Amino acid sequence: MASYIRSFLSQLEAEAIGVLREAVAQCGRTALLFSGGKDSIVLLHLARRAFWPSRIPFPVLHIDTGHNFPETLLFRDRLADELGANLIVRYVQDSIDQGRAVEETGPNASRNLLQTVTLMDGITELKLDVAFGGARRDEEKARAKERFFSHRDRFGQWEPKQQRPEIWNLYNGRKHQGEHFRVFPLSNWTEMDIWHYIRERHIEMPSLYFAHQRSVFRRDGMLLAASPYLPLLPDERAETSLIRFRTIGDMTCTGAMYSSATTIDDIIAELAASRVTERGSRADDKRTETAMEDRKRQGYF
């Protein structure tokens, strides 16, 4: 009977594919929110598998803060091309120019929060019923309680106390006009699972995840990439070090780590020995104890 037990990766893959198909079959207009990070890359590959040999039946939506790593954008365009996916980009800069979003000021200014405005505008413009996201429950304690089909009201807000029970594998995709779902097929994956899967399926990853020489500086205990978007304070000094990124987001809030991991095996070994979590290197989560929940309630990813 041993052959009738699938490995955990196979089970997670099947679960994610099932959720992708279910959302597309039950709901009308769908899109995949692409951030350029490993989770959304894995999600895109899973979408390819879920509908193969058909094409991915939805566009890929990227909310570009204008503060992305150049590597991310190059990788994004190449991947969309390779998978034959329809890429749609919406710019936070446009929201700022239209006066719909106001840029933060100060040394730690980030456009991370402003993404929500552009995202919600994009969802309205594209009349989306479902936006797929690569969020995982192990990332953060508010996410640990979120459903696969996460219901959002007309304002894109998440109401954690009013979540629909999700029982067995029966996903309720019914909603009223104007509401939408964020659907998270990777809910039950951990950071380690993502890397095992990347290795198993030979999925190409942006070079930012691997050790490379980069000019970085230290601020509030974090190692940040030197960039025009983050002017150095008087007592800060940038220096070139061998680093890699454990998560990839906006350049203004993504912390780097010293690392010599140049292969996926190296990364897995490094993770296994790590004593801090993935989001420990994200400035956006350190703002308050419930930073993620507060942002999600506002319509964040």
Partner 1 sequence: MTEPHVELLRLATAGSVDDGKSTLIGRLLLDSKAILEDQMAAIERASQMRGDPYLDLALLTDGLRAEREQGITIDVAYRFFATPKRKFIMADTPGHVQYTRNMITGASTAELVIVLIDARKGVLTQSKRHGFLASLLQIPHVLVAVNKMDLVGYREEVFQAIVEDYRLFATKLTVHDITFIPISALLGDNVVHKSPNMPWYDGSSLIHYLEQVTVGTGRNLVDFRFPVQMALRPHQDFRGFAGQLASGTISPGEEVVALPSGQRSRIRSIATYDGDMPEAIAGDAVVLTLEDEVDISRGDMIVRRKNLPQVDSEFECMLCWMGEESLDLQTSYILQHTTRQVRAFVDELNYRIDVDTLHRASASTLRLNEIGRVKITTTQPLYYDPYQINRATGSFVLIDPATNNTVAAGMIRRRARELEEIVRQPAPRQQSANVVWEETPITRAMRETYNEHGAAILWLTGLSGSGKSTLAHLLEHRLFAQGVQTFRLDGDHLRHGLCGDLGFSAQDRQENIRRAAEVAKLAFGNGSVVLCTFISPFRADRDFARSLAPAGAFLEIFVQCDVEICKRRDPKGLYAKALRNEITEFTGISAPYEEPLQPELTLDSSVLTPAQCVDLILDELHVRGIVPHRRQSS
- Contact residues for partner 1 (CB under 8 A)? 1, 4-15, 17-18, 21-22, 24-25, 48-55, 137-138, 140-145, 160-161, 163-170, 172, 174-176, 187-188, 190, 192-193, 196, 200, 274-277, 280, 289-290, 293-294
With respect to partner 1, which residue has the nearer C-beta, 49 or 127?
A: 49
State the nearest-atom distance from the C-beta of 81 to partner 1, in Å: 18
Q: How far is residue 50 from each of residues 9, 31, 47, 55, 154, measured CA to CA in Å?
A: 15, 14, 5, 10, 29
Taking the C-alpha atoms of residue 26 and residue 10, their distance in angstroms, rounded to an integer, is 24
**Which tokens belong to 111?**
């456009």
Give min distance, CB of 67 to partner 1, in A: 24
Choose between 67 and 246: whose C-beta lies nearer to partner 1.
Answer: 246
Half-sphere exposure for 130 (CA within 13 Å, toward CB): 27
Min separation Cβ 285 and partner 1, Å: 10
Residue 172: HSE in the Cβ half-sphere, 13 Å Cα cutoff = 11
Query: 52 or 155, CB closer to partner 1?
Result: 52
Minimum Å gap between C-beta 143 and partner 1 is 8
| C-beta of 51 vs 217, nearer to partner 1 | 51
CA 16: distance to chain centroid?
15
Question: Residue 16 Cβ, how far from partner 1 at the closest point, in Å?
Answer: 8
Strand order in the sheet with 30-34: 87-91, 60-64, 30-34, 130-132, 180-183, 149-152
